[in-house]
């Protein structure tokens, strides 16, 4: 495992690789969104070989600095902290802001352009958006106000506003299919909503613990859609089977503090990546077979956990695995790119 | 706003605001390093003074330096090093850290300074127009800080034995003052047009190399001279031999100082002999070189321009006169060199810092850095690394921890203007040696609670440093905020988090009031999943049970529902204000085909109704229409319950 | 380095007498001779006017923000002899309480440290000092110290909440009742007085004599964990005095003259960490004073902190 560390003079709340067109392609571009600063922005970065195509100047830069260092290619100011960010397609990114606004940004590195394409202003009150999810052309945003909004890329008006459906703050959102949305909240619940249902009530509520420890993040298994992994404020990774009962299949103490994000590897789904407030990034390796997972509770653990980053002491807020590269951002205003993470 | 003139005097800041001429300026702190100023009238003469025109308020800030993107990089990168050093200290407890380990930390700090310097230089080269203001100043500052840091590292951290220190200092010069390399490059670059030796800088390049003790490179340069011949023994071969034979102290090869000194004396005697024998009289430049080798004071005066500064000539001078000099004797020779450059009065701030270092006076170095550098970075980290680690035995540790605390607070305050650096600020404040974290506690209370996620991070910080009172206060504020925003569920979660049962009861009451008024709960999704936490407050327990009743009723489990409802009333868990609502809830149960309440149960319900009927105090609080409604309901209930009693007796 | 970041037109019709940032620096309150109080929102270093609070019938001298855990509360005091408490609900500011028990201009208001509960002290030109305690449900109970300073009281300031023994162990939430309630006042009798609550009554604990003319302002420094109290005072006599009291050796406050100015000194203000004192004197001057490691006070030099120009780029 090799890592590259870049200090970027801003705290990044989210980092995302630009989706690759084939599994053979190495990801070379990513976006980041900053938070908690006087002026916040989203930036597009190039890594390694990519920058050669951009312009001459970048070439010189790469000669001088180690070639693995990411180079900022484009930047655009946002009105508020970036709280949620997700790629909709190759070149467009949905961004949720602390002002409650969700925007769609489109960029083109060759044309040196990064601009807002669509905006849904002030969808959320209080401290605004906390997360967004996308499944082209559908978008979902959630907020501390307990509201869920559904949008479509080309529609100026949101398709559906489910105002205050959760009485605790919603912490994250994920789209399992274009109609199936799952959310996590501060009360430790994982909820499933059906976009086709006329009712604003969740189709299911699953509980991670009896002690109301909040959940921070959620992702679904790429091939077995019913397996949902959530990250808790107590450092636990809690696995649910959406087909079965409302209690967890398995609960694993992976970190010591809040699991801010977790992601299955899209092409090698036996790997689950997690990052935490405690400053660690870890990888869980297992087949995610629900049978063996539940037997794990009785002692024999089929799960292997590996450390991907030397402990850095500051919170790791976001991560994204793609190919064999893992991208992370920390509160030390740093971005890490870990090679051979798989 | 051209009527506002601002200027600095040595110890005073004056803001001129012409709209309030002849008034007094008042300053109020607004946070870490910001002050607000304005000009008010005086409380007693307000009758005869009235201000016209716009009334201004000025925001003034101290140390804006830290907001620069490059500074942000320095701050974050060095904070990681700082934090791991503190961690290491904690692990070894009272023992002081190993010197080689401290050297590693020192090099880490230095490499951060260097990479920042390189980056600014790159930026300056890359963007010819519109690069950030003050970038050049920043670059100068970084190169200066690196120069100071590396000297301090050699002298205070590495602390090498006699002889070896000088070689390190020679390296220091080579690294920071690339003049010799530049000259050599200049001469050799134009190989096609002019031969290097004809280049006007040729001899300067050779001198510069010799001054830095780089003899083999100097020999390479000399070989480029057309008069240089290998076969014939002449002045060129003579100087080449001297340069080749110059002994170099090598600490790591187990050479003893005495052994080296003997070799050195022998070699220098030979240089002197050849100089006096007139070996170099034909080529005046070679004579100059030989004079350098002989440690001739006069020639150093002549070449002072090539050396550039007193400290560089000091190192050259010592190299050729006293190569095995002791660390602590360095400064004895500094006066001579300073005089070559105009004496003490000509010394700049940087000169003074370096001089203090050569004098081995760490506290003076830190004092000078505090005064002359525009940020607190260097003195703070230097003090923490060198002074506090007891590398310097002569200073009492008590004094050093005071100084360290003082600097940590200064550095932290200087950063506090940048909102997103709050965790770095907190980390430096938490590293103060005072036992209780009062600086940190004061600061933590002022971090804006902008989002739930950020609050979670702040609470983690409180947890780490046992700031219990502050954490409680933050939870309370979050609960208040949620309550104001009518997010009762969220407010309840915050009460649970901080174990604030009285506030939880208040919120449960709010929920019940809402139910009594509207007949629905808006935050049931939280209450239904409270789990064991529900026992935290009696009112919450009631709320949960009451919800259970509604659920059972909804599921048509009437008998169970009926029993639960009765229980709530008889056990007095239900607050009196809600008894009427609860009794009304019993009404539909009385209409069922099957008898839900038997004789005994119905009598208990009637007893409850009677108790309620006697609550004059409760009744008197109601409005006239509510009173009417209340009485009517009681009447209705009494009738239904009596009917049910009759039905129960009959069956 | 000291620099003016920006200048705000407060839109007040007459001069401002006080400006206070709320706890987190997100809202600013100003008050003026135009009889109003204005609330600004502060974002990215710029201010935006949110509300203008009207109701006072004379110049408003001071404003004070309560701790945010008590919701958004602001106190103001005025030449009209009244103290108002304002509260924000759904973005609207409204006066929720009016205190009218002073017979002359009320010059100073100050909220107690939040650990002590919701409590406000007011100093008036009638020589009296009132302490208002919140009893729940917007009920306030006033206890008045009559004739605290003959001729008038100019300034009041609370001591930080330090529970006895808290320097050894962090106080738990249950210890709340143990916090000592103390404040300092300065008046036209040239005196500084320290008041302490004992058995529900306010008693004069100490009288500090040293100023030779009216005391204009007093400010108790924040606690930084040392068993030492520090108060700054300034006076018509041009002197700024730092009073310190080492609680381990005794309870007497000892004066040290920070500086004697040629003119009246109006205001003293401590930074949050209590290491810098901003002194506002006559002639448009403000000076910043910092206590060094050795306990000596120095004026912060701003020019001296500029960058040295002869760097190393030969």
Its pTM stands at: 0.84
Work out how many domains chain A is built from and give that number: 1
Instruction: Write out pLDDT tens, residues A23-82.
Output: 778 899 999 999 999 889 999 999 875 434 444 444 444 444 445 689 999 999 999 999
Residue B251 pLDDT exceeds 70: no
Q: Which of C16, C167, C270 sits opposite B29 (nearest CB)?
A: C270
Across B1-5, B61-65, B304-308, C182-186, the highest mean pLDDT is recorded for C182-186
Instruction: Report the Cα C174 to chain-centroid distance in Å.
Output: 28
Asked if residue C207 belongs to a domain, the reply is yes
> Does residue B207 contact residue B292 with C-beta atoms inside 8 Å?
yes
Contact state of A38 with B419 under an 8 Å Cβ cutoff: yes
> Does residue B551 contact residue B564 with C-beta atoms inside 8 Å?
no
Asked if residue C29 belongs to a domain, the reply is no
Residue B611 pLDDT exceeds 50: yes
Q: What are phi and psi of A95, to 5 degrees?
A: -125, 130
Q: How far is A33 from chain B (nearest CA, A)?
A: 14
Contact state of A36 with B420 under an 8 Å Cβ cutoff: yes
Give the helix/strand (H/E) hosting A322.
Answer: strand A316-322
User: Average of pLDDT values for B192-196?
Assistant: 72
Sheet strand arrangement including C16-21: C16-21, C27-32, C37-43, C46-53
Please choose, from the candidates C107, A264, A118, C233, the residue with its C-alpha nearest in 3D space to the C-alpha of residue B42: C107
CA A132/CA A151 separation, integer angstroms:
11
> Does residue A111 contact residue A96 with C-beta atoms inside 8 Å?
no
Range of the domain at C261: 155-167+178-306
User: How many residues make up chain B in this entry?
Assistant: 651
CA B61/CA B32 separation, integer angstroms:
9
CA C297/CA B133 separation, integer angstroms:
34
CATH classification of the domain holding C243: 2.130.10.10
What 3-state DSSP class applies to B450?
Answer: coil
CATH classification of the domain holding A191: 2.130.10.10
**Residue of chain A with shortest Cα separation from B488:** A167
Residue B235 pLDDT exceeds 60: yes
Asked if residue A118 belongs to a domain, the reply is yes
Kindly list the residues from chain C whose CB atom is less than 8 angstroms away from the CB atom of residue B346. Answer: none
Contact state of A168 with B83 under an 8 Å Cβ cutoff: no
The neighbours of chain B, by the rule of 3 or more Cβ pairs under 8 Å, are A, C
User: Average of pLDDT values for B111-131?
Assistant: 81
Evaluate the omega torsion of the peptide bond into residue B313 and state whether it is cis, within 30 degrees of 0.
no
Prediction ipTM score: 0.93
Please choose, from the candidates B416, B419, B374, the residue with its C-alpha nearest in 3D space to the C-alpha of residue B34: B416
Instruction: For A85-129, give the secondary structure using H, E and C.
Output: EEEEECCEEEEEECCCCEEEEEEECCCCEEEEEEEECCCCCCCCE
Q: Which of B31, B59, B76, B508 to mutate to test the interface with A (most CBs of A within 10 A)?
A: B76
Please choose, from the candidates A98, A39, A42, A38, the residue with its C-alpha nearest in 3D space to the C-alpha of residue A72: A42
* A138-143/A180-185 β-pairing: unpaired
User: How many residues make up chain C in this entry?
Assistant: 314
Asked if residue A21 belongs to a domain, the reply is no
Q: Which of B87, B118, B132, B525 to mutate to test the interface with A (most CBs of A within 10 A)?
A: B525
Q: How far is C115 from chain B (nearest CA, A)?
A: 9
What 3-state DSSP class applies to B432?
Answer: coil
Kindly list the residues from chain B whose CB atom is less than 8 angstroms away from the CB atom of residue A211. Answer: 531-533
> Does residue A213 contact residue A207 with C-beta atoms inside 8 Å?
no
Asked if residue C74 belongs to a domain, the reply is no
Kindly list the residues from chain B whose CB atom is less than 8 angstroms away from the CB atom of residue C114. Answer: 473
B308 near C CB under 8 A: yes
Instruction: Write out pLDDT tens, residues C70-129.
Output: 888 999 999 999 999 999 988 899 999 999 999 999 999 999 998 888 999 999 999 999
Instruction: Write out pLDDT tens, residues A202-249.
Output: 999 999 888 889 999 999 999 998 999 999 999 999 999 988 878 898
Please choose, from the candidates A149, A214, A147, the residue with its C-alpha nearest in 3D space to the C-alpha of residue A184: A214
Q: Is B39 left (phi over 0), alpha (psi -120 to 50) or beta?
A: beta
Give the helix/strand (H/E) hosting A172.
Answer: strand A170-175
Contact state of B413 with C61 under an 8 Å Cβ cutoff: no
Asked if residue A86 belongs to a domain, the reply is yes
Q: What is the DSSP string of C59-88?
A: -EEEEEEPPGGG-SEEEEEETTS-EEEEEE
Asked if residue A238 belongs to a domain, the reply is yes
In total, the C-beta contacts within 8 angstroms joining chain B to chain C are 281
**Residue of chain B with shortest Cα separation from A212:** B530
Asked if residue A72 belongs to a domain, the reply is yes
Asked if residue A335 belongs to a domain, the reply is yes
Contact state of B451 with A38 under an 8 Å Cβ cutoff: no
CA C303/CA B11 separation, integer angstroms:
8
CA distances from B463 to A269, B441, B472 (A): 35, 12, 11
Q: How far is A42 from chain C (nearest CA, A)?
A: 18
> Does residue B320 contact residue B307 with C-beta atoms inside 8 Å?
no
> Does residue A268 contact residue A244 with C-beta atoms inside 8 Å?
no
Asked if residue C232 belongs to a domain, the reply is yes
Q: How far is B138 from chain C (nearest CA, A)?
A: 9
CA distances from A134 to A138, A142, A151, C74, C249 (A): 6, 12, 9, 44, 67
**Residue of chain B with shortest Cα separation from C23:** B446
Contact state of B70 with A10 under an 8 Å Cβ cutoff: no
Q: What is the DSSP string of chain C?
A: -EEEEEEEE---SS-EEEEEE-TTSSEEEEEETTS-EEEEEEETTEEEEEEEE---SS-EEEEEEPPGGG-SEEEEEETTS-EEEEEEETTEEEEEEEE---SS-EEEEEEPPGGG-SEEEEEETTS-EEEEEE-STT-EEEEEETTSSSS-EEEEEEPP---TTTTTSPPPGGGGGGPPPEEEEEETTSEEEEEEEETTEEEEEEEEE--SS-EEEEEEPPP-SSSEEEEEEEETTSEEEEEEEETTT-S--EEEEEEE-SS-EEEEEE-TTS-EEEEEESTTEEEEEEE-TTS-EEEPPSSTTSPPS--S--
Asked if residue A22 belongs to a domain, the reply is no
In total, the C-beta contacts within 8 angstroms joining chain A to chain C are 3
Q: Is A47 left (phi over 0), alpha (psi -120 to 50) or beta?
A: beta
Range of the domain at A252: 2-16+27-339
Kindly list the residues from chain C whose CB atom is less than 8 angstroms away from the CB atom of residue B177. Answer: 312, 314
CA A44/CA B83 separation, integer angstroms:
30
Token pair, residue B527, equals 């209450």
Kindly list the residues from chain A whose CB atom is less than 8 angstroms away from the CB atom of residue B524. Answer: 167
User: B6: which residues sit within 8 A by CB, 6+ positions away?
Assistant: B13, B14, B15, B16, C3, C4
CB atoms within 10 A of CB B122: 14
Give the helix/strand (H/E) hosting B548.
Answer: helix B538-554
> Does residue C222 contact residue C159 with C-beta atoms inside 8 Å?
no
Asked if residue A192 belongs to a domain, the reply is yes
Residue B121 pLDDT exceeds 90: no
Mean pLDDT of chain B: 82
Contact state of B57 with C67 under an 8 Å Cβ cutoff: no
CA C96/CA C80 separation, integer angstroms:
17
Residues (pLDDT < 70) of chain C are: 1-3, 45, 162-178, 225-226, 248-250, 282-284, 292-294, 301-314
Residue A340 pLDDT exceeds 60: yes
CA B32/CA A36 separation, integer angstroms:
17
Burial of B230 (0-12, 13-18, 19+ CB in 10 A): exposed
Work out how many domains chain C is built from and give that number: 1
End-to-end CA distance of chain C: 26
Q: How far is B49 from chain C (nearest CA, A)?
A: 9
Least confident of A90-94, B40-44, B498-502, C136-140: B40-44
What pLDDT does B70 receive?
84
Token pair, residue C167, equals 């320097």
What pLDDT does B63 receive?
64
What pLDDT does B26 receive?
75
């Amino acid at each position: 495992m090799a890592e590259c560390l870049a200090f970027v003079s801003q705290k990044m709340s989210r980092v995302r690789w630009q989706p690759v067109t084939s599994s053979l392609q190495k990801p070379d571009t990513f976006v980041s969104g900053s938070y908690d600063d006087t002026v916040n922005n989203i930036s597009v970065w190039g890594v390694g070989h990519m920058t050669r195509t951009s312009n001459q100047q970048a070439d010189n830069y790469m000669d001088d600095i180690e070639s693995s260092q990411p180079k900022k290619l484009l930047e655009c100011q946002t009105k508020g902290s970036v709280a949620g960010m997700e790629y909709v397609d190759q070149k467009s990114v949905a961004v949720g802001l602390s002002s409650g606004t969700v925007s769609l940004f489109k960029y083109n590195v060759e044309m040196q352009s990064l601009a807002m394409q669509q905006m849904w202003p002030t969808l959320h009150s209080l401290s605004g958006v906390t997360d967004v999810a996308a499944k082209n052309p559908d978008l979902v945003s959630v907020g501390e106000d307990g509201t869920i909004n559904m949008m479509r890329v080309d529609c100026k008006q949101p398709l559906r506003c489910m105002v205050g459906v959760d009485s605790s703050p919603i912490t994250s959102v994920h789209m399992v299919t274009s109609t199936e949305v799952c959310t996590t909240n501060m009360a430790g619940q994982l909820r499933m909503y059906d976009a086709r249902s006329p009712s604003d009530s969740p189709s299911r509520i699953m509980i991670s613990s009896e002690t109301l420890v909040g959940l921070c993040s959620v992702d679904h298994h790429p091939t077995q859609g019913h397996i949902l992994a959530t990250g808790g404020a107590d450092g636990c990774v809690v696995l649910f089977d959406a087909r079965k009962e409302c209690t967890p299949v398995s609960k694993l103490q992976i970190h010591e503090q809040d699991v801010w994000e977790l992601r299955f590897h899209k092409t090698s789904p036996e790997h689950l990546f997690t990052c935490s407030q405690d400053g660690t990034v870890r990888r869980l390796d297992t087949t995610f077979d629900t049978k063996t997972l539940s037997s794990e509770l009785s002692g024999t653990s089929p799960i292997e956990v590996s450390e991907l980053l030397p402990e850095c002491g500051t919170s790791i807020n976001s991560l994204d695995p793609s190919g064999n590269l893992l991208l992370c951002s920390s509160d030390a205003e740093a971005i890490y790119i870990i090679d051979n993470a798989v | 706003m051209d009527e506002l003139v601002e200027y600095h005097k040595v110890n005073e800041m004056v803001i001129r605001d012409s709209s309030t001429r002849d008034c007094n300026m008042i300053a109020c702190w607004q946070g870490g390093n910001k002050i607000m100023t304005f000009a008010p009238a005086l409380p007693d003469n307000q009758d005869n003074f009235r201000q016209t025109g716009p009334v201004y308020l000025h925001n003034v800030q101290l140390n804006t330096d830290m907001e620069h993107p490059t500074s942000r990089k320095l701050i974050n990168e060095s904070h990681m090093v700082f934090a791991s050093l503190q961690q290491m200290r904690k692990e070894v407890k009272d023992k002081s850290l190993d010197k080689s380990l401290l050297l590693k930390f020192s090099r880490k700090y230095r490499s951060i300074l260097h990479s920042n310097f390189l980056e600014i230089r790159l930026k300056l080269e890359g963007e010819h127009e519109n690069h950030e203001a003050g970038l050049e100043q920043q670059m100068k500052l970084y190169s200066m800080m690196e120069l100071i840091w590396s000297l301090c590292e050699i002298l205070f951290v590495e602390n090498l034995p006699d002889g070896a220190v000088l070689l390190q200092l020679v390296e220091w010069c080579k690294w920071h003052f690339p003049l010799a390399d530049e000259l050599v490059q200049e001469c050799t670059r134009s190989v096609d047009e002019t031969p290097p030796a004809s280049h006007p800088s040729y001899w300067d390049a050779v001198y510069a190399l010799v001054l830095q003790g780089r003899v083999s490179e100097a020999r390479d340069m000399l070989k480029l001279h057309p008069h240089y011949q290998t076969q014939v023994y002449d002045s060129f071969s003579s100087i080449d031999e001297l340069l080749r034979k110059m002994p170099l102290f090598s600490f790591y090869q187990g050479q003893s100082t005495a052994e080296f000194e003997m070799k050195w004396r022998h070699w220098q005697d030979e240089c002197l002999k050849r100089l006096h024998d007139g070996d170099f009289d034909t080529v005046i430049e070679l004579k100059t070189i030989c004079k350098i080798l002989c440690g001739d004071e006069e020639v150093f005066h002549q070449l002072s321009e090539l050396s550039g500064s007193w400290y560089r000539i000091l190192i050259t001078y010592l190299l050729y006169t006293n190569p095995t000099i002791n660390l602590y004797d360095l400064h004895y020779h500094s006066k001579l060199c300073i005089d070559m450059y105009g004496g003490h009065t000509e010394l700049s701030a940087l000169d003074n810092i370096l001089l203090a270092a050569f004098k081995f006076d760490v506290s003076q170095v830190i004092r000078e850095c505090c005064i002359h550098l525009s940020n607190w970075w260097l003195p703070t980290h230097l003090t923490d690394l060198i002074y506090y680690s007891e590398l310097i035995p002569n200073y009492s540790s008590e004094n050093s921890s005071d100084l360290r605390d003082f600097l940590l607070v200064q550095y932290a305050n200087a950063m506090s203007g940048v909102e997103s650096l709050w965790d770095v600020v907190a980390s430096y404040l938490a590293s103060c040696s005072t036992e209780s974290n009062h600086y940190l506690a004061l600061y933590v209370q002022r971090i804006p609670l902008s989002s739930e996620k950020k609050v979670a991070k702040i609470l983690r910080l409180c947890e780490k440093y046992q700031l219990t009172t502050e954490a409680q206060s933050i939870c309370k504020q979050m609960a208040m905020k949620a309550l104001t925003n009518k997010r009762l569920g969220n407010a309840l979660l915050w009460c649970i988090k901080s174990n604030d049962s009285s506030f939880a009861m208040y919120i449960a009451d709010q929920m019940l009031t809402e139910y009594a008024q509207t007949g629905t709960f808006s935050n049931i999704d939280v209450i239904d999943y409270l789990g064991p936490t529900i026992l935290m407050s009696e009112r919450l327990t009631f709320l949960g049970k009451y919800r259970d009743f509604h659920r059972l009723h909804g599921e048509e489990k009437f008998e169970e529902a009926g029993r639960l409802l009765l229980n709530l009333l008889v056990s007095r868990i239900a607050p009196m204000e809600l008894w009427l609502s609860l009794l009304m809830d019993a009404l539909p149960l009385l209409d069922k085909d099957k008898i839900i309440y038997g004789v005994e149960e119905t009598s208990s319900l009637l007893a409850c109704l009677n108790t309620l009927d006697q609550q004059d105090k409760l009744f008197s609080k109601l409005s006239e229409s509510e009173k009417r409604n209340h009485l009517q309901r009681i009447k209705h209930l009494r009738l239904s319950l009596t009917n049910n009693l009759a039905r129960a007796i009959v069956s | 380095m000291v620099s003016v970041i920006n200048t705000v037109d407060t839109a007040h019709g007459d001069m401002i007498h006080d400006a206070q940032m709320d706890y987190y620096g997100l809202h600013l309150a100003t008050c003026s001779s135009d009889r109003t109080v204005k609330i600004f929102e502060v974002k990215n270093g710029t201010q935006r006017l949110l509300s203008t609070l009207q109701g006072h019938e004379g110049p408003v001298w001071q404003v004070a923000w309560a701790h945010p855990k008590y919701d958004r509360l602001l106190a103001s005091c005025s030449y009209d002899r009244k103290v108002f408490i304002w509260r924000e609900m759904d973005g609207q500011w409204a006066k929720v309480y009016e205190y009218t028990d002073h017979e002359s201009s009320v010059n100073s208001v100050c909220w107690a440290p939040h650990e002590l509960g919701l409590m406000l002290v007011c100093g008036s030109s009638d020589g009296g000092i009132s302490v208002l305690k919140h009893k729940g449900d917007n009920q306030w109970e006033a206890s008045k110290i009559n004739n605290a300073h003959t001729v008038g009281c100019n300034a009041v300031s609370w001591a930080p909440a330090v529970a006895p023994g808290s320097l050894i162990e962090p106080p738990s939430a249950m210890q709340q009742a143990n916090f000592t309630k103390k404040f300092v006042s300065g008046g036209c009798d040239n005196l500084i007085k320290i008041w302490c609550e004992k058995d529900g009554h306010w008693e004069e604990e100490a009288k500090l004599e040293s100023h030779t003319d009216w005391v204009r302002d007093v400010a108790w420094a924040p606690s930084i964990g040392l068993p030492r109290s520090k108060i700054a005072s300034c006076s018509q006599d041009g002197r700024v005095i730092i009073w310190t009291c080492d609680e381990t050796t005794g309870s007497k406050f000892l004066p040290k003259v920070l500086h004697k100015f040629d003119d009246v000194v109006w205001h003293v203000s401590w930074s949050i960490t209590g290491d810098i004192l901003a002194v506002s004197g006559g002639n448009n001057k403000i000076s910043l004073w910092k206590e060094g490691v050795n306990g000596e006070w120095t004026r912060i030099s701003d020019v001296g902190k500029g960058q040295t120009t002869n760097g190393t780029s030969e």
